[in-house]
């Protein structure tokens, strides 16, 4: 198994998760953050919640405690973001990478995978905006 990013939504105290696994965004998050700094936008990593609440969810899920209980604990703690803030970052990244494609990876170029992940993430954030939900990027295995 590999680690990926997923988009989680919070609306009215309930958490839902998108099915997409954003492998390339996770794997190249440092590179994307450097590009964000270069183009003057908020880094992707700021939207990724890695607080104690996330650790609680992982531990509790492994302990066969109800997922609902774990999600409710995570919903009550940690930071959630308005999707409009994430859309600004994703749109600026997509625009910059379309204008000036760059290589992601040493042995193989993962530019296409990055673009696919960014577009999928954008769609998820737009869905969150339409549902008037908050979001955060979460690590998953």
At residue 69, the pLDDT reads 60
99 C-beta neighbours (distance < 10 Å), count: 7
Distance CA 47, CA 138 (A): 9
Please state, as a whole number, how many other Cβ atoms lie within 10 Å of the Cβ of residue 134. 20
Using CB atoms within 10 Å of the CB of residue 103, give its burial: 0 to 12 exposed, 13 to 18 middle, 19+ buried. Answer: exposed
Per DSSP, the three-state class of 56 is: helix
Give pTM, 2 decimals. Answer: 0.83
Residues of the chain with pLDDT under 50: 51-65
């Amino acid at each position: 198994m590999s680690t990926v990013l997923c988009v989680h939504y919070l609306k009215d105290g309930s958490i839902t998760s998108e099915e997409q696994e954003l492998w390339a965004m996770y794997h190249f998050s440092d590179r994307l953050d450097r590009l964000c700094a270069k183009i003057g936008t908020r880094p992707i990593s700021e939207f990724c919640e890695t607080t104690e609440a996330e650790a609680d969810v992982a531990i509790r899920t492994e302990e066969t405690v109800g997922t609902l209980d774990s999600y409710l604990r995570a919903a009550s703690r940690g930071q959630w973001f308005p999707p409009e803030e994430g859309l600004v970052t994703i749109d600026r990244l997509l625009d910059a990478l379309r204008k000036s494609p760059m290589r992601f990876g040493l042995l193989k170029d993962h530019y296409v995978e990055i673009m696919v992940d960014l577009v999928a993430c954008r769609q998820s954030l737009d869905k969150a905006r339409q549902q008037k939900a908050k979001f955060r990027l979460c690590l998953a295995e």
